[in-house]
């Protein structure tokens, strides 16, 4: 074998490498790295060298073909306060056991049965918009979508939850998420343990853990329902007969709570932002929904027929994937794309970068939902991976897509959303790719 060539990449400064540039504009930094250096890029970020993999073949290697050679637990350490020891952060046999226990709770028929719940929650939100529509005052649609998806995931997980408890859990998760986000790009993240707000942070974690513990205790006392908690309490590993213990359940529920609303809220906010700027797509969406449903709320059976609605969502997730970057660490030395990566090397996969790869997507910055119309796709499987892929593909992707489709349909039936003049909208690359200042929207009722 010929001598190993050095993997190309930007040069950095002593000690900090290219970290200052990456921290200033992570999205722009990763995009430029791909454009300038190719599909495998060495990134000196602080004292460590990470590797950005951009080509679908390399992503397939990591997520699917050689998934066991790439671990998630080490790379997931910064987000562990949000996700605990859950399906999101564990590896190996422990991950396989938890996945087996979790799978029945997210079977497609169970997810489809949740459509009426989503319809009721969305209908209540739309009724609450009447005042804003009449006054013409702008709404932050990201905030609205966050509240809606939080309501939906809490009811999905636990059934009815007292509004006071739901608000407390929502405030706690928002506080913890903010602290985690601050530490992700902090050159002195280790100093956070001495931060003045550490007491508040610890309190927020306690509130969250107590909320989950109380829900589990309630779930064990009451009769089983249709909620996810009931399914998880009843779950038994088909190979060992084991069940979840309370600590495992607490962390799994916390992870589902975080992932189950943050990603959907971000995706929906970007959907309204893009539709507000593209009248042709907006009119085509309205036409499909009017022809299929008129003013009737969608059922689970309707969703497969709302093909353009789904294409709008898919294209939004191409341009603004909520999970914009994910990381893995090599268990042993491994070869990817002709380069040998040593053991304990961190690789980065960025849907944001690969979804905008000019060799994979024509005019990649353009919003064009028909890319996802039937018969239009010849792209490789991992040219598009907003929910990951392989064995560790997001277990909640069916629910997230179904939820987004129902919400987009119902909002479009009632209102046309226009961007509020002068509202600054820009992506904020944190744990989820959310709009930094929200998205200001003015509501226009749809004429009957």
Closest CA to 300 of 446, 426, 432, 399: 399
How many domains does the chain fold into? 1
pLDDT grade for 377, boundaries at 50, 70 and 90 = low
> What is the pLDDT at residue 183?
76
Q: Tokens representing 245?
A: 């213990």
Percent of the chain surpassing pLDDT 70: 95
* Residue 138 counted as domain residue: yes
* Residue 355 counted as domain residue: yes
pLDDT grade for 3, boundaries at 50, 70 and 90 = very low
H-helix or E-strand spanning residue 341: strand 339-341
> What is the pLDDT at residue 378?
80
Task: Give the pairing type, strands 415-419 and 440-445.
Answer: antiparallel
- Give the residue carrying structure tokens 């609303």: 261
> What is the pLDDT at residue 1?
39
* Residue 299 counted as domain residue: yes
H-helix or E-strand spanning residue 70: strand 70-71
Question: Are the beta carbons of 412 and 283 closer than 8 angstroms?
Answer: no
Q: Choose from 51-60, 102-111, 204-213 the range with maximum mean pLDDT.
A: 51-60
* CA–CA separation, 55 and 51 (whole Å): 12
- Give the residue carrying structure tokens 């209102």: 415
Mean of pLDDT values over 377-387:
91
Percent of the chain surpassing pLDDT 90: 77
Mean of pLDDT values over 32-39:
96
* CA–CA separation, 186 and 181 (whole Å): 9
The burial class, CB within 10 Å (0-12 / 13-18 / 19+), for 31 is middle
Digit-coded pLDDT (tens) for 290-329 = 999 999 999 999 999 999 999 999 999 999 999 999 999 9
| Torsion angle in degrees (nearest 10) through CA of 172, 178, 183, 186 | -160
Question: Are the beta carbons of 73 and 91 closer than 8 angstroms?
Answer: yes
Mean of pLDDT values over 69-83:
89
Mean of pLDDT values over 165-176:
90
* Residue 370 counted as domain residue: yes
Q: Is the pLDDT of residue 39 over 90?
A: yes
* CA–CA separation, 157 and 191 (whole Å): 35
DSSP 248-300: HHHHHHHHHHHHHHHHHHHHHHHHHHHHHH-HHHHHHHHHHHHHHHTTSPP-G
Q: Could you tell me which residue, 255 or 197, shows the higher pLDDT? A: 255
Digit-coded pLDDT (tens) for 91-106 = 999 999 999 999 999 9
- DSSP 8-class letter at 304: G
Domain range for residue 145? 54-445
> What is the pLDDT at residue 194?
44
Digit-coded pLDDT (tens) for 182-206 = 777 665 444 444 454 567 888 988 9
> What is the pLDDT at residue 265?
96
Q: What is the average pLDDT score of the chain?
A: 92
Q: Global pTM?
A: 0.94
* Residue 221 counted as domain residue: yes
> What is the pLDDT at residue 74?
87
> What is the pLDDT at residue 46?
83
* Residue 155 counted as domain residue: yes
* Residue 46 counted as domain residue: no
The mean-pLDDT minimum among 112-116, 222-226, 348-352 falls in 222-226
> What is the pLDDT at residue 250?
94
* Residue 103 counted as domain residue: yes
Digit-coded pLDDT (tens) for 405-437 = 999 999 999 999 999 999 999 999 988 999 999
CATH number, domain containing residue 145: 1.10.630.10
> What is the pLDDT at residue 187?
54
């Amino acid at each position: 074998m010929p001598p190993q060539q050095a993997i190309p990449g930007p040069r950095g400064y002593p000690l900090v490498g290219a970290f200052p540039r990456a921290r200033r504009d992570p999205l722009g930094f990763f995009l430029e790295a791909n454009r300038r250096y190719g599909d495998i890029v060495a990134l000196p970020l602080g004292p460590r060298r990470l590797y950005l993999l951009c080509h679908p073949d390399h992503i397939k290697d990591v997520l699917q073909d050689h998934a066991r050679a790439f671990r998630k637990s080490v790379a997931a350490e910064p987000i562990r306060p949000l996700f605990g020891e859950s399906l999101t952060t564990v590896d190996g046999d422990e991950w396989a056991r938890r996945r087996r226990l979790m799978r029945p709770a997210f079977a497609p028929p169970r997810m489809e049965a949740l459509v009426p719940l989503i319809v009721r929650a969305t209908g209540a939100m739309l009724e609450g918009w009447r005042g804003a529509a009449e006054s013409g005052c702008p709404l932050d649609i990201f905030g609205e979508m966050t509240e809606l998806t939080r309501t939906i995931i809490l009811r999905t997980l636990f059934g009815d939850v007292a509004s006071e408890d739901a608000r407390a859990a929502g405030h706690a998760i928002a506080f913890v998420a903010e602290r985690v986000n601050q530490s992700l790009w902090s050159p002195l993240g280790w100093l956070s343990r001495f931060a003045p707000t550490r007491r508040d942070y610890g309190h927020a974690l306690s509130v969250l853990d107590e909320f989950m513990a109380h829900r589990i205790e309630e779930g064990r006392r009451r009769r089983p329902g249709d909620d996810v908690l009931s399914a998880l309490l009843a779950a038994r590993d088909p190979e060992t007969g084991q069940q979840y213990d309370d600590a495992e359940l607490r962390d799994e529920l916390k992870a589902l709570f975080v992932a189950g609303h943050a990603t959907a809220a971000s995706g929906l906010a970007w959907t309204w932002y893009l539709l507000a700027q593209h009248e042709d797509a907006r009119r085509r969406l309205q036409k499909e929904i009017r022809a299929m449903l008129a003013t009737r709320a969608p059922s689970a059976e309707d969703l497969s027929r709302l093909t353009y609605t789904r294409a709008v969502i898919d294209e939004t997730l191409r341009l603004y994937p909520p999970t914009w970057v994910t990381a893995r660490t090599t268990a042993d030395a491994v070869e990817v794309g002709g380069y040998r990566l040593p053991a304990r090397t961190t690789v980065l996969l960025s849907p944001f970068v690969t979804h905008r790869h000019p060799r994979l997507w024509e005019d990649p910055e353009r919003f064009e939902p028909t890319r996802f119309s039937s018969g239009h796709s010849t792209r490789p499987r991992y040219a598009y991976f907003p929910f990951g892929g392989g064995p560790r593909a997001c277990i909640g992707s069916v629910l997230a897509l179904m939820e987004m489709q129902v919400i987009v349909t119902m909002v479009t039936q009632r209102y046309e959303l226009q961007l509020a003049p002068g509202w600054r909208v820009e992506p904020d690359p944190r744990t989820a790719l959310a709009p930094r200042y929200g998205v200001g929207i003015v509501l226009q009722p749809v004429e009957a």
